[in-house]
Structure 1
């Protein structure tokens, strides 16, 4: 059953240079023609990019008129610090958050901060700010790489939702069945919020392989072998990736996925090619 009025959103990461930031804004400008529901901006391990994340979110909202959501992680932060961030975001008019446990930065050892899980962060946000924020959380159709097993990971996800999440964005994947199975199992646990598939365009084989190995996203053997066969031929890799990911998105939307969230890596070309293949209506 095809979703009615699917929503589209795009993720960026804070640029380290002025030229990189200008390129990010240009990419976001190009993507506004798809009338995104929101942009999001990542948050470095232990809050290492906190100021740049906030600055990026504010500029995306002000210059492009698209609601933008900072990622907020609890690892390495005290409750007092997190409360301060929340009230600062409220004062700036930010209404949308992506609430995550976050990654431990190198050298931090076992110092996790006062909150250990995303569920705890969602509870803190609700206790502190009520329903002011629209909260997205993460979902892992192929299981979080640090989870004991699938059932435990699914329960942790359901706990985050019950703590007050409004929606979820998945880790990227290339097997649509893993998404549909995850959604079905989550619904049986009483989860009925929108679970948006995270989409990773394929533009570089070596980077994709490293990302996938690090985050636990399965790169199917048939896909890995085909990408290896292209070697350093980036044009062929990108053309192949566009076809594969477009077909994945088409199946997800036809199967009822409520939208798509693109991991842009601060580039617009690949997401635009996929959305154009899907014949998504634009404002242009």
Structure 2
């Protein structure tokens, strides 16, 4: 069964995200996490793609190992940042050779400063829809894309942003993963706008339990600085109590997850940060195991 078919059939399920490890010790710990979470049967496991070449080979290596050594379906991130079209074709070819059939096509942010003006590689691609077409032309079975509940920073207004998202679907994308947001209403508004446009492509929300002050800083990058003030008010009283901070962060994620499920969202994308415990806790609390 294809990934789009699995997504269409999903009900109270989850997917998970990993990032390539940076050294042998962290790779060993990461694989222990992979083995623990594989037992919960996520619909897919995405593997992030490093900017500037830092972990691009690691993406191919980890996604290929998931395909070869586990029951997981890897979804490899692919971005156009700093890459020629020929190099991107080569990466897709490497993924296919490793048994990885599904790709998440992302334009990506400029290296070093995500807010810097976007400048494509002289022999590269300008937009994510071009990357969708390239991946499909090279043999990817399915391609997903990013969606932005608050709008992409480069989009002048929500209508323009929606047109760009619809353009990625017209290019052949068969699902989208929404940028992290802690306000469920942001995601639901985007879902409703897609439905009103006649688009029934699966839209998957991301969920990250903010279980430490360090993770709170990570959310600044993942949400482009749009964390809601209420999140800080919820977590601020626990800054000096590590255990209580984790419990409150998990409680927030469970509340958001329950709201999304109650609104008919069939699948939640869980950011693991290469650790198993928080994902396991959310899967158990929300009843997401396959």
Residues 183, 75 of structure 1: alpha-carbon distance in 2 compared, 3 angstrom cutoff: same
Structure 2 residue aligned with 1:26: 32
Root-mean-square deviation (Å): 2.1
The correspondence of residues 133-152 of structure 1 with structure 2, limited to 5 A, is: 133-152=141-160
Deviation readout 1:13-70 (Å, 9 max, x if unpaired): 1111111011111111111222111111111113331111111112222222211121
- Of residues 164, 168, 174, the one that matches 2:172 is 164
Deviation readout 1:157-181 (Å, 9 max, x if unpaired): 1111111111111111111111111
Structure 2 residue aligned with 1:175: 183
The correspondence of residues 6-25 of structure 1 with structure 2, limited to 5 A, is: 6-25=12-31
Residues 180, 109 of structure 1: alpha-carbon distance in 2 compared, 3 angstrom cutoff: closer
Q: Structure 1: which 4+ aligned runs deviate by more than 4 Å?
A: 107-111
State the TM-score, normalized to the length of structure 2. 0.88
- SS where residue 145 of structure 2 aligns? strand
Question: Does 1:96 find its partner at 2:106?
Answer: no
Q: Which has the higher mean CA deviation after the structures are superposed, 226-235 or 166-175?
A: 226-235
Hey, what's the Cα distance between the residues in 2 that align with 1:145 and 1:232? Answer: 34
Shift of 1:91: 2.6
Q: Which has the higher mean CA deviation after the structures are superposed, 137-146 or 3-12?
A: 3-12
**Structure 1 unaligned spans of 5+:** none
Q: Which has the higher mean CA deviation after the structures are superposed, 85-94 or 63-72?
A: 85-94
What is the number of residues matched between the two proteins?
A: 278
- SS where residue 102 of structure 1 aligns? coil
Contact residue 143 and residue 216 of structure 1 kept, 8 A: no
Structure 2 residue aligned with 1:5: 11
**Structure 2 unaligned spans of 5+:** 1-8
Deviation readout 1:262-284 (Å, 9 max, x if unpaired): 111101111111111113345xx
The correspondence of residues 176-195 of structure 1 with structure 2, limited to 5 A, is: 176-195=184-203
